[in-house]
Structure 1
Amino acid sequence: MKTILVVDDELDIVDVLSDLLTAEGYRVITASNGREGLTRLAESRPDLVLLDRMMPVVDGAEMLRLMREDASLGGIPVVMMSAAEGRRLSQELGCAAFLKKPFDLGTLLDTVARLAGRGDREEVARS
């Protein structure tokens, strides 16, 4: 089962993404800020990180910089999410994709499937 780490300080967004991704067959781990996200990364080594840019404690850009400094975490693909324009920054930081909030959930699922692979539900449906 593919694991997705969702790091966002907006609980409503975390809940929607967690429910959606779980329904698609992914295992979902959540964190409410970058510091907590780094802890979850070290514990679980997810297949993909969905990362909000603007958060308290440690923001998304700083979390991503710290990830890239750690050889064991640096290869995990990251999708940066933000209501503010951040496409260029996300590219400079090495993100695999950028989604501007509010984003279409279908686009999110397509992006997750492309970067992490399909969830278990999709694998069963194709068998």
Structure 2
Amino acid sequence: MTQIATVLIVEDEFAIADLLEMVLVDEGYRVVVAGNGRQGLERLAEGSAPDLVISDFMMPIMDGVTMIQAMRKVERLRNVPCLIISSMPEANVRERVDGYAAFVRKPFKIAALVQLIETVIREARSET
């Protein structure tokens, strides 16, 4: 039996977070949601490391870059793959953060995003 993957969604646009949560739960994932990077770090501190973090790039309180940088300083979170979503071009994101597994530009196609999530998780699991 395949282990159920846990995905942390960190997104300040509630409509996007709700849609992603609904789709991923439908696909069989365990989903945890946070509205900004600070809440994301709180969720990460509460339980075991997720299989994937999906984070918006720009958010109030704490952005995705700052959250990912903080994650990388915690041993048990250092290798958790991160997928960044943003309406900005990837070049702008790459200037501020590295070490993310994938980038998706908003607006995105749900089916393509689900396929990318499956690929990133599968590849991360095969590396361990």
TM range (shorter): 0.7 to 0.9
2:116 corresponds to 1:111: yes
Corresponding residue for residue 88 of structure 2: 84
In the aligned structure 1, how far is the partner of 2:119 from the partner of 2:72? Answer: 21
Deviation string for 1:60-96 (max 9, x for gaps)? Answer: 0110111111121110000000011134634842000
For 2:102, the aligned partner's letter is A
Matched with 1:46 is 50
Q: 1:53 to 1:89 in 2, by over 3 A?
A: same
Aligned twin of 2:98: 93
Note closer, same or farther for the CA distance 1:42–1:90 as it changes in structure 2 (3 Å cut). farther
Residue 61 (structure 2) aligns with: 57
Q: Which has the higher contact order (CA 8 A, sep 6+)?
A: 1
Distance 2:65 2:112 in 1: 22
CA distance, structure 2, for counterparts of residue 14 and residue 89 of structure 1: 20
CA RMSD of aligned residues (A): 1.4
CA distance in 1, matches of 2:93, 2:104: 12
> How high is the TM-score relative to the length of structure 2?
0.86
Amino acid at match of 1:100: R
Unpaired runs of 5+ in structure 1?
118-127
Structure-2 separation of matches of 1:37 and 1:106 = 24
Q: Structure 2, unaligned stretches of length 5 or more?
A: 123-128
Identical columns (%): 41
Among 25, 32, 52, the alignment partner of 1:22 is: 25
CA shift for structure 1 position 104: 0.9
Maintained 8 Å contact 2:6/2:51? yes
How high is the TM-score relative to the length of structure 1? Answer: 0.86
Query: Aligned residues, how many?
Result: 117
